[in-house]
Amino acid sequence: MKIRLPLSIAHANWQTSDPDYTDRPVISGSARECVSGNLERSGRLLAATVLCLMVLGVQAAAAATTWVVDDDGVQCPLRNFSTINAAVAAAGTGGDTIKVCPGLYGEQVKINRDNLTLLGAQAGVDARTRPFVPDPLTQSIIDHPCGPVQIIADNVTINGFTVQGSILSDPCTLSGIWMNPGSNAPDQGRCQNPQQHRPEQHLRN
């Protein structure tokens, strides 16, 4: 890339052993100041550009966070939380992921964060092919008598859980996973629901 600078070029005595030698151009004092000023401004511009790129990189990295949940801290000693609800409360709406380690989670999980992904211990495994007997050593089990999982957000993914224990009627709706009919984006999941004796494959509002 060529850069044109407004240089003032003049002929003057070149510092050689011959004081009368005047055939070489040199940069006058004002021109040197101009070059120095331009270089200084270019340096500041480059530094500002690098700083902006670093800030954008940090923001992009911080846009999505992965949280780890373990009820007893045995399988995942470096957990962030011991309950799923605590992780949901800490999650943002920029596409966070909550990884839930094997265990029994006796809580009503209310998902009120958009663009959230919850991954249980059996994430990615077809619920129709998994062992149907709940096992807290190998499965992430959500157990609650009043609608164990309630989705009141958009674009939520639940994958790899066993949901059980829903026995209460309205307002609990006798459902293992309840979704707000007012949510817009697709909500989908892959989990077992022993309460209804069938695997829930894709849950959409």
Query: Tell me, what CATH number does 129's domain have?
Result: 2.160.20.10
Q: Which tens digits make up the pLDDT trace of 112-138?
A: 999 999 999 999 999 888 878 899 999
User: Which ranges constitute the DSSP H helices of the chain?
Assistant: 29-63, 84-90
- The pLDDT score that the predictor gives to residue 86 is 98
Pair 192, 152 in one domain:
yes
Pair 52, 150 in one domain:
no
Q: How confident is the model at residue 173 (pLDDT cuts 50, 70, 90)?
A: confident
Q: Please list, residue by residue across 51-80, b when 16 or more beta carbons sit within 10 angstroms of its beta carbon and e when fewer do.
A: eeeeeeeeeeeeeebebbbbbeeebbeebb
Residue bearing the bigger pLDDT, 9 or 167 = 167
- The pLDDT score that the predictor gives to residue 128 is 84
Pair 48, 95 in one domain:
no
- The pLDDT score that the predictor gives to residue 30 is 60
Pair 86, 39 in one domain:
no
Percent of the chain with pLDDT over 90: 47
- Output the DSSP codes for 9-57: EEE---SSS-TT---SEEE-HHHHHHHHHHHHHHHHHHHHHHHHHHHHH
Pair 81, 26 in one domain:
no
- The pLDDT score that the predictor gives to residue 198 is 41
Mean pLDDT of the chain: 76
Pair 90, 132 in one domain:
yes
- Token pair in block for residue 87: 């992780």
| Domain extent at residue 22 | 9-62
Pair 144, 126 in one domain:
yes
Pair 42, 80 in one domain:
no
110: left (phi over 0), alpha (psi -120 to 50) or beta: beta
Read off the pTM. Answer: 0.64
Best-predicted range by mean pLDDT (22-26, 45-49, 51-55, 77-81): 77-81
Pair 90, 149 in one domain:
yes
Q: How confident is the model at residue 14 (pLDDT cuts 50, 70, 90)?
A: very low
What letter does residue 93 receive in the DSSP assignment?
S
Q: Is the Cβ–Cβ distance between 194 and 200 less than 8 Å? A: no
Pair 70, 53 in one domain:
no
- The answer as to whether 194 is a domain residue is yes
The total number of structural domains that make up the chain: 2
- The pLDDT score that the predictor gives to residue 197 is 40
